[in-house]
Chains A and B, each alone.
Chain A
Amino acid sequence: MTTKVLLVDDEKEFLDLLGERMTARGMEVDSTTSATDALKITEDHTYDAIVLDLMMPEMDGLQVLKNLKAKHPELQVILLTGHGSIEKGVEAMRQGAMDFIEKPADLEVLTEKIKKAQARKMILVERKVEQEVRDILVSKGW
C-alpha cells in the first residue's frame, strides 16, 4: 500500500526536493507552503503522515497541530523543528504530535518515522471502525 504524506513547510525549494526524494522511494506526496491550506487540504484528503514545520509564517506550527488534531484525532503529525533543543519537540508531542525531527532531517530517519506513523494510523482507524460497528449493533439491537 502506498504511503500518503503531506509536507508543510514555508520553504518551497525544500518541499520540492524532499517531495522528489520521497516520491522516488515510492511515497505519494502532496505539499503546501501554507498552514491555512494544510488545514483545508486535510478536510478533503487523508494522509498516513503529515510532516509539519514548527515555524510557519501565518500560523505557529503548534497551533496548526492543535487544529489538525482537534478535527482529525487519528492524524499522525511529525514536526520538523529548527530548534537546537528538544524543548519544543517535547511540547509538540505533549500536544499530540507523533514525533519530531530536527532540521536538516535525515531522510532515512524521517522515512522510518513515517512508516511508524502509517502503522499507528492503521491501528487507530481499525479501532474506530470496530467502535462504529459496535455502536451500530447496540443502537439497532439486531
Chain B
Amino acid sequence: MTQSNKETTVDGLRFFGRMSAAISHDLKNTLSIMNESAGLIEDLALMAENKGRPLDPQRIHQLGATIKRQIQRNDGIVRNMNQFAHSVDHSFKEIGLTANLQMLSTICRRLTDARGVAVAVTPSDPDIGIVTRPFHLLHLVWLLLAWAMDHVDEGKRLSLQARSVQDHVHLECRGIAGATAAAAFPPAPWTELLELLAARVEMDTAQQAIVAVLPRRMAA
C-alpha cells in the first residue's frame, strides 16, 4: 500500500467515523425525548397515587403520541444508518444518486446545521442510476459539501443534484460564492479518491457550483 493509499483509507475511516458519530447524536436526542416522556408519565402517575391529582387522559395520549413520533424518527435514522453501513459491502454497485444524496444529507444534517448551512437535495425523476464505488462516492459527496460550506454564498443554502450528461453524471453542489470559491479551487488533494472513482471536479461559476464529473458505469 502506498502512502497515498494509506491516507485515503484513513480519510475514509475518518469520514465513516464522523458520520457514525452524527448518527449516534441523533439517536441520543430521540432517546432523550422518549426518556423524558416516560419520566413524565411516571411523574404524573406518582402525583395521582401520592397527591390525589387526577390523571389527565389527554396528557397521556399526547405523551404516547410523542413517543410514537420519536420511534418513527428513530426508525428513519436507523434505516439511513443501515444503508450507509452497507455502502462498504461492494467494491462496485449500481446505486440511485438521488436516494444516496438524500441519505447522506440527512445523516450529516447535524454537521451542516452546526455550520448554519441548509442543504437541500433536488431530486432527479426518475432517479439516476450509476455503477460506482458506493462508499467512496458518499465520501466524495461529503468532501464536496464540506468544501462548499467553507465557500458558501451569503444565503447559506446549498443544493445537491445530479444530471446525466451523455455517458457521465454531473453531481453538482450549488450555492457557493463564485469569486472566493474560485480563488480556493481546486480543493485540497482529493486525487486518490477521484482516481478511485474515475472522476474529476470542476467549478461552474455561472451556476455557483462545484461539480464532480463521474462515469455512469465504472468498469470493475
Binding site for B on A (CB under 8 A): 10-11, 13-14, 17-18, 20-21, 24, 55-58, 60, 82-84, 103-105, 107
Contact = CB atoms under 8 A, between A and B. Distances in A.
Contact of A58 (B25, B34, B43, B116): B116
Given A14-B32, A24-B47, A104-B32, A55 B39 contact: no
B219 interface: no
Given A57-B114, A103-B28, A13 B66 contact: yes
15 contacts: A11-B29, A11-B32, A13-B33, A14-B29, A14-B32, A17-B36, A17-B37, A55-B110, A60-B114, A82-B24, A82-B25, A103-B28, A104-B34, A105-B32, A107-B39
B40 interface: yes
B182 to A, nearest CB: 28
Contact of A82 (B28, B47, B116): B28
Interface in B80-129: 110, 113-114, 116
Contacts of B113: 10, 57
Contacts, number: 55
Contacts of A57: 113-114, 116
B31 interface: yes
B35 interface: yes
Interface size bucket, B side? 20 to 34
Main secondary structure of the interface of B (DSSP, over half): helix
B189 to A, nearest CB: 27
Contacts of A18: 36
Contact of B33 (A10, A14, A83): A14
Contacts of A103: 28-29, 31-32
A85 to B, nearest CB: 10
A98 B39 CA distance: 25
A39 B91 CA distance: 49
A20 B63 CA distance: 12
Given A14-B33, A24-B43, A104 B116 contact: no
A17 B40 contact: yes
B77 to A, nearest CB: 13
B30 to A, nearest CB: 9
Contacts of B21: 83
Nearest to B114: A57
Nearest to A80: B32
A10 B26 CA distance: 12
B185 to A, nearest CB: 28
B53 to A, nearest CB: 10
A20 B33 contact: no
A17 B153 CA distance: 37
Nearest to B31: A104
A18 B35 CA distance: 10
